[in-house]
Structure 1
Amino acid sequence: MAAEFHAHVDRLDLAAPASVAVGAPARVTATLTQPGGRTVPVAAPVSADWSASPSVHTGGVDGVRPWHVARFDPATGELSALRPGATVVLAVTVNGVRAEATVTLTEAALAPAA
């Protein structure tokens, strides 16, 4: 016997910064809202399908290729810009409901002059 649990989703929100600088990883989170206004973070045991623009590697550091401009690790929620000058889309789907965010990849911030 097997069983699956599907979270009821009234609304799904994906929180990501508008921009991420090379060398300054950012946190991306998703939250679902259920009946009665209950909010639940999209993390275990909630099953989610994460996806991104083709130029984004989704997963660990080992899979990064020369054409990737960013890396997103769904396990940690960390988005890292690898090269500036691109705009990417991150998306998450929970029980058929999809949310997405657009992020611009920018140059590394310069250290303030001493």
Structure 2
Amino acid sequence: MSLDPAAVRAAFAAAVNMDAAELEEWLETPESLSVGQKKDGALESVGHAAGRRLVTLLRSDPGALDEDAYRLMRKAVGFIRRHRAQEPANMVTSRWRYALMNWGHDPLK
């Protein structure tokens, strides 16, 4: 594997602060569905689709994770880090917060 699993797991654990149940519940809200970039006319945003995959990953046995899971974890960490650097004045009801939550990070926690 070209990724360092221990480093990716540690960064992911530090960045993702929602558990599987919280994330799954969030992904069902209209706010969750209202944000994010959609590719090629897709109905679901990239972040929302990633969030659904993260729910599965969060419920998985860490020993059963494959390289694709680690890539997704690294992608989530990168998204969260980039977006945390762009904090808006009102984060409570912002699209910024909603997008972060689709990736498993609630900045209000």
What TM bracket, shorter-length normalisation? Answer: under 0.3
> Quick one: higher RCO (CA 8 Å, sep 6+), 1 or 2?
2
Name the one with the larger helix percent.
Answer: 2
**Which has the larger Rg?**
1
For normalisation by structure 2, the TM-score amounts to 0.23
For normalisation by structure 1, the TM-score amounts to 0.22
